[in-house]
A and B are shown apart, each in its own frame.
Chain A
Amino acid sequence: MAETFTIGKALNLGLRRAMEDDAKVVLMGEDIGKLGGVFRITDGLQKDFGEDRVVDTPLAEAGILGTAVGLAMRGYRPVCEIQFDGFVFPAYNQIVTQVAKIHARSKGKLQMPIVIRIPMGGGIGAVEHHSESPEAYFAHTAGLKVVAVSNPVDAYWGIQQAIAHPDPIVFLEPKRRYWEKAEVDTAATPEPLFRSRVVRGGDDVTVLAYGPMVKTALQAAKAAEEEGRSLEVVDLRTVSPLDLDPVFESVRRTGRCVVVHEAAVTLGLGAEIAARVTETCFHSLEAPVLRVGGYDTPYPPSKLEEEYLPDLDRVLDAVDRSMEF
């Protein structure tokens, strides 16, 4: 059955289905019950599944993640909502020192099937700590997987796949795109979770993005087409583990590669991707792999966020620079 949903609604329905499928799934977070979360992603779930399955926690992120570890040891599948990206840090210790390492430390005897949902990124005019892109901190930590969805279809299926997955997953939701719509076939066979996907074919330059920047990359491709230039856009979908085979294949054809993300450029995901593409496709490259991202400054006050965030012009500018080589 195909219906049109926003990303927010798709997540809500995906969570609902995961909870129906598995009684061990427990949602935990601040304000996720009666309020349905500040973005209403869990709207109506507490009413239908009760307070034991949709838990309004005390205001304590370390508490949420730390107790999730214990619940997971006891066979539950906690899905933790962090209200905003900037508030994950009180839980950071639990995530990187415990959640990420327990499987290895116990030689596989303990699994941590925990999903950490984080609305990430900027563009909503918020005050500080509400617009950050912390993915590299998590991707740099062995033992964690990091998913960043960009559209309702991946939101719907991705959240269910993440919950069913045996490893801990940081699940990044593109908050400024929560209201974007697309058709979702809820009876389809979903694509596997940890695979990237070419979302627009093209011949001149390969553009990689994930999460909120996929739309920006697609907009840039459309604008480039009007100028007679053809961009191939790849949605990474998962930033750890990276699925770069389709990217290598694409770059071997186009000879050019531009990576786009909101997070600061220095030591961001783009740096890793550029290195890997260079190692693998060196002889096919016509130009160095270029990165478009946030500046190396704190996320600025909202009146400047349009300057900070990569937009279609900055992507096109990088495409131009790539073509000039």
Chain B
Amino acid sequence: MTALSQATEVVDPVPGASSPHLPRQPDLVQLLTPEGERVEHPDYSLDISDEEMRGLYRDLVLVRRWDIEATALQRQGELGIWASLLGQEAAQVGAGRALQDGDMAFPTYREHGVAWTRGVDPLHVMGLFRGVDNGGWDPVERRFNLYTIVIGSQCLHATGYAMGVQRDGAEDAVLAFLGDGATSQGEVNEAMIFAASFSAPVVFFCQNNQYAISVPLERQTRIPLYQRAAGFGFPGVRVDGNDVLAVLAVTRAALAAAREGQGPTFIEAFTYRMGAHTTSDDPTRYRLASELEEWKLRDPIARLKAHLSRSGIADAEFFAGVDAEGDELAARIRSGTVDMPDPAPSSMFDHVYAEQTPPLAAQKAEFEAYHASFEGGEH
């Protein structure tokens, strides 16, 4: 029995039937305890080299460093807004590193850690939040779609892309990211219905960070989210989202199943957004400091670091090296952002259509002439 078909069996046959008010505490797939102890899980094992393990740690640290730098840059007025991933690094790095080259990822607006694993230049992401463009990376080349801000829309795109993969007879799989709040959208539900109905090779990766802006999980669902999958007819798994090893193992298994023609999986990465929803948000209005303190004890980086040092996989020199790399990255992001030029004004008329229309070309020419009339003038 594969890990995934096993996972189906932990799903209630009738979701929520036992007691809708007291949802059964579900099994949480974990390979690394919050204290950093490596543990085995009967359904999910992870064969990973020391080198790869160090690589994951490096990813986590660098992604966090980037996030911290971006938050600071927003505070200094260099970015319009920033959606922080603080606390969700393991969920994103674990999921991103489970992807193979040919796989396609469909992010929301917070998946900077996944972008990192796909080799997207952080400055492209910074450009979006600075307001110079809508994300400057090449989604085809990076196999990482542009960020999608309208909640849930990307799940349908991911499913359609997966249907394309299927038609092509390709061995690739698709990973769609969504939040816990997004599960309420009609489009997300439609995506799951299409995915199930066509057995599309798509994995829905939900980062349950417990809040949709201010609205807690209980307002979106009465049952653990992973159990929703049963209603659509495919497996749902809940994984410790702060355990990068478990996330990697579970996502790899789900993508493998998709590749083998077994259809979709829903992964609920159980995690917590440590920061504000975005830099415009004030989380003290809707959550208690004590909750934050509790989650700090499950920090994804501290736990991997404990494991690496305790098991001798990495030493002080390695950690210092990663920190130094973080400083370099932060400096590059800072100067790159501050020095980022504004786009040419008339660029807004470009790329509206693949084939420019005469009226829009005329509007562009008029705009340029109007602009030129100010040059050297008093305006």
Residues of chain A having any CB pair with chain B under 8 Å: 30-31, 33-36, 38, 56-60, 62-63, 86-87, 89-90, 125-130, 266, 295-298, 300-305, 307-308, 313-314, 317
Contact = CB atoms under 8 A, between A and B. Distances in A.
A127 B220 contact: no
B360 interface: yes
Contacts of B347: 304
Interface stretch (B20-28, B125-133, B325-333): B125-133
B343 A303 contact: yes
Interface stretch (B3-11, B177-185, B223-231): B177-185
Contacts of B286: 34-35
B149 A129 contact: yes
B132 to A, nearest CB: 5
Interface string B126-155: 001111111000000000000001111000
Contact of B134 (A38, A63, A301, A308): A301
Nearest to B345: A307
B186 A301 contact: no
B367 A295 contact: yes
Contacts of B285: 34-36
Contact of A295 (B134, B219, B349): B349
A302 B80 contact: yes
Given A34-B285, A59-B220, A89 B150 contact: yes
A303 B340 CA distance: 11
Interface of B: 80-81, 109, 128-134, 149-152, 181-182, 184-187, 212-215, 219-220, 280-282, 285-286, 342-343, 345, 347-349, 352, 359-360, 363, 367, 370, 374, 379
B345 to A, nearest CB: 5
Nearest to A87: B150
B150 A308 contact: no
Contacts of A59: 151, 181-182, 184-185, 212, 215, 220
Contact of A303 (B131, B187, B282): B131
Which of B129, B184, B367 has the most chain A CB atoms inside 10 A of its CB? B184
Contacts of A300: 348
A304 B214 contact: no
B209 to A, nearest CB: 13
B214 A31 contact: yes
A63 B343 contact: no
Contacts of B186: 60, 62-63, 90
Contacts of B359: 266, 296
Contacts of B150: 86-87, 89-90, 129
A169 B343 CA distance: 38
Nearest to A317: B370
B212 A303 contact: no
Contacts of B220: 58-59
B71 to A, nearest CB: 16
Given A34-B286, A86-B150, A60 B184 contact: yes
Nearest to B127: A301
Nearest to B357: A296
A267 B375 CA distance: 31
A296 B81 contact: no
B80 A304 contact: no
A30 B282 CA distance: 15
Contacts of A62: 185-186
Contacts of B182: 59
Contacts of A303: 130-132, 342-343
